[in-house]
């Protein structure tokens, strides 16, 4: 939109340069470059990925108890004793290690849900699926934009205490839990079978959201445009007066039987200039309308 406006204004500037050689003031002086300023900020996103997984022997009686957890509702995770317990233990250990607490992310919970369910449905326990799907695919799928991300996987740990202790005793998992670059977490679980064996998988997705990129803003020189518009309207009135005077002179010449070719040329020239001025007026009016829309949207 800015390119279109600027192109129009440059064309106008060229035309006005021709026009002002006759009588109009330079009301577009530096107008094109000063009237529109584009401010754009781009966040330089960095991506750090880390992965770790642990597993424990299947304990039949404990596995059956996992049915009590039901299907995780990310928005009501606090009512789930397993998930809320792990989340609380993670932040306790972060505090003990002088790290900021993680905040809960429903989006990361959703991505963890998708990953956990996919592992059970496709019978694997790996960060990368047999078909080559990486952990970050699931985070991207829920449209979570991140600068850092990590994934922890646990298999067949049935309580928040046993799962967290096992994760903290593993260097890779502990590094993710205490990573100061992470600011949010979402976790989920799924029960089923992997390789025909009972399996209860826990997925932790860590990340820090990417900084929001401010929208492109256009700063309009509204006051200068309004002044230019007044100047153009004033000069349009001048041209109307010139035309009226020229028509009167033409009538007098005709009445005297003289040649009106010269005055006709003058009138044609003034009519052409009037069209140009009216065109510039429309362009500035359009410009001011665009400024109003842009200001309303910013």
CATH number reported for the structural domain that contains residue 125 in this entry = 3.40.33.10
Whole-number average pLDDT of the chain? 79
In a domain, 57, yes or no: no
Domain boundary among 182, 209, 236: 209
Q: What mean pLDDT comes out for the span 71-97?
A: 95
pLDDT, tens digit (0-9, with 9 covering 90-100), for 20-49: 333 333 333 333 333 322 222 222 233 344
For residues 229 and 185, membership in a common domain is answered with no
Chain centroid to CA 134:
25
Sheet of strand 197-209, all strands in order from the earlier edge strand to the far edge: 48-55, 146-155, 197-209, 184-194, 103-104
What pLDDT was estimated at residue 84?
A: 95
Same domain, 204 and 82: yes
Sequential DSSP letters for 44-70: ----EEEEEEEE----HHHHHHGGGG-
Residues 81 and 184 in one domain: yes
Maximum separation of any 2 CA atoms in the chain, in Å: 120
Residues 278, 166 share a domain = no
- pLDDT grade for 295, boundaries at 50, 70 and 90: confident
**Statement to judge: residues 191 and 233 lie in one domain:** no
Residues 111 and 196 in one domain: yes
Q: Could you read off the pLDDT of 232-248 as tens digits, one per residue?
A: 888 889 889 988 988 98
Of 209, 234, 257, which residue is a domain's last? 209
- How many distinct structural domains can be found in the chain? 2
Percent residues over pLDDT 90 in the chain: 43
Would you say residue 111 has pLDDT above 70? yes
Lowest-confidence range among 82-91, 152-161, 199-208, 213-222? 213-222
DSSP three-state, residue 156: coil
Residues 167 and 268 in one domain: no
Range of the domain at 266: 220-296
Three-state DSSP class for residue 292: helix
Determine which of 50-64, 81-95, 175-189 has the lowest per-residue pLDDT on average: 50-64
Give a yes or no: residue 149 inside a domain: yes
Angle of CA points 137, 141, 145, to nearest 5°: 90
Mean pLDDT of 156-171: 94
pTM of the model: 0.57
């Amino acid at each position: 939109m800015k390119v279109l406006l600027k192109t129009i204004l440059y064309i106008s500037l060229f035309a006005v340069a021709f026009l002002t050689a006759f009588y109009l003031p330079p009301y577009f002086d530096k107008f094109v470059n000063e009237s529109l300023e584009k401010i754009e900020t781009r966040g330089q996103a960095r991506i750090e990925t880390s992965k770790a997984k642990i597993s424990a022997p299947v304990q039949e009686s404990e596995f059956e108890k996992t049915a009590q957890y039901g299907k995780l509702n990310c928005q009501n995770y606090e009512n789930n004793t397993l998930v809320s317990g792990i989340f609380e233990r993670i932040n306790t250990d972060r505090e003990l290690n002088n790290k900021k607490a993680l905040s809960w992310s429903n989006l990361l919970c959703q991505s963890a849900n998708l990953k956990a369910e996919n592992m059970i449905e496709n019978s694997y326990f790996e960060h990368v699926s047999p078909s080559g799907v990486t952990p970050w695919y699931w985070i991207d799928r829920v449209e979570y934009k991140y600068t850092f991300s990590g994934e922890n996987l646990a298999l067949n740990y049935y309580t928040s205490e046993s799962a967290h202790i096992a994760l903290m005793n593993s260097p890779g998992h502990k590094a993710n839990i205490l990573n100061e670059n992470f600011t949010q977490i979402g976790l989920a679980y799924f029960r089923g079978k992997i390789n025909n064996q009972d399996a209860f998988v826990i997925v932790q997705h860590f990340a820090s959201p990417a900084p929001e990129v401010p929208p492109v803003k256009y700063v309009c020189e509204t006051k200068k445009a309004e002044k230019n518009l007044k100047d153009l309207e004033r000069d349009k009135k001048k041209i109307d007066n010139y035309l009226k005077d020229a028509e009167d002179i033409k009538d007098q010449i005709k009445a005297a039987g003289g040649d009106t070719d010269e005055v006709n040329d003058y009138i044609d020239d003034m009519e052409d200039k009037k069209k140009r001025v009216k065109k510039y007026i429309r362009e500035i009016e359009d410009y001011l309308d665009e400024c109003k829309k842009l200001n309303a949207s910013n």
